[in-house]
Amino acid sequence: ISPTWNTFAIELLKTRKRWPKIQRFEIIPSENTCVVGMHLLDTQLEYFGVTKWQKFQLAPGLSYVKQVFEKFNDMRHCFNRIFGRCSRIEVLRMDFKTDLNRELIDNIVETVGVLEVAKIEADQLNTFTRNNAYVIVMLAQIPSIQHLEFINAIDCFFSQDICVSLFETILTEITCKKRNFRAVFTQATASQDEMDKIENNYNSLKTALAIKGVLSIFEKKRSDGVLSNVLISLMKDEETLK
């Protein structure tokens, strides 16, 4: 790279850090459309070009805005415009209730790649498909991402051996340069029987995960003495992978 272009790139990165950040960015696909939503300060609406989107007041000075897209190209232009004007996304939420379009995911990974993304939330991942696996692996490749959270997805993953091969791929091959990468699974629970079932499924895979170089932690979260949530965290075992 020439000294001129190198200087330009460094200045651009310094300038980008001063740009506004997005608290939360959501992508919710359906069969024929896709909803894009954001949590933004009211003072940022014009800056991001979303003053004509549907607006819902969350708190004084903070709004949730959303737009329904029917054409992929329109949505792609939207991503390019918004991501090209921000410095960071605190939470990027992907809804898996409907299979996400691979072309859409490729575009997101490409345009978000230059940003800092603190966390990605995968929601409504009730069934595991080859397409979902592709999406998860692609999201893990975003350079800055170190935290993937799968909401209410323990039953989907830990009742089958799929999580072992998937996270061997993510944690050893794709994220080999990320020292603190972590995947977190949550599952809301209503009874002790559900808790025991989840823990049994987890225990049956714990050793297989360890052999593949994946550390795992099982946590029970309680609310007012009532079982309310289970968390399973997966991360790299640096010693095993050396």
Q: What is the pTM of this model?
A: 0.80
Q: How far is CA 22 from CA 4, 39, 82, 165, 171, in A?
A: 31, 7, 9, 33, 27
Choice between 65 and 15, residue whose per-residue pLDDT is larger: 65
232: which residues sit within 8 A by CB, 6+ positions away? 154, 158, 184, 185, 202, 216, 217, 218, 219
Q: Indicate whether 226 belongs to any domain.
A: no
pLDDT of 208 > 80? The answer is: no
Q: What is the mean pLDDT of residues 144-148?
A: 81
pLDDT at 9: 43
Domains in the chain, number: 1
Q: Indicate whether 199 belongs to any domain.
A: no
pLDDT at 24: 94
**Block residue for tokens 């950040």:** 21
Q: Which residues of 19-35 are buried (b: 16+ CB within 10 A; e: fewer)?
A: eebbbbbbbbbeeeebb
Choice between 177 and 214, residue whose per-residue pLDDT is larger: 214
Q: Indicate whether 4 belongs to any domain.
A: no
* Backbone Cα Rg of the chain: 20
pLDDT of 219 > 90? The answer is: no
Q: Indicate whether 74 belongs to any domain.
A: yes
> Amino acid identity of 106?
D
* Owning domain of residue 111: 18-193
Q: What is the percent of the chain with per-residue pLDDT over 70, rounded to a whole number?
A: 78
Q: CA 195, CA 199: separation in Å to the nearest integer?
A: 6
Q: Indicate whether 126 belongs to any domain.
A: yes
pLDDT at 224: 64
Q: Indicate whether 143 belongs to any domain.
A: yes
Q: Indicate whether 70 belongs to any domain.
A: yes
pLDDT of 49 > 60? The answer is: yes
Which residue pairs from 135-141 have beta carbons closer than 8 angstroms and sit at least 24 positions apart in sequence?
135/94, 135/96, 135/100, 135/102, 135/105, 136/166, 136/170, 137/166, 137/169, 137/170, 137/174, 138/105, 138/106, 138/109, 139/94, 139/105, 139/109, 140/170, 140/174, 140/175, 140/181, 141/109, 141/174
Give the closest residue to 104 by CA, choosing from 174, 51, 33.
33
Q: What is the mean pLDDT of residues 218-228?
A: 71
Q: Indicate whether 163 belongs to any domain.
A: yes
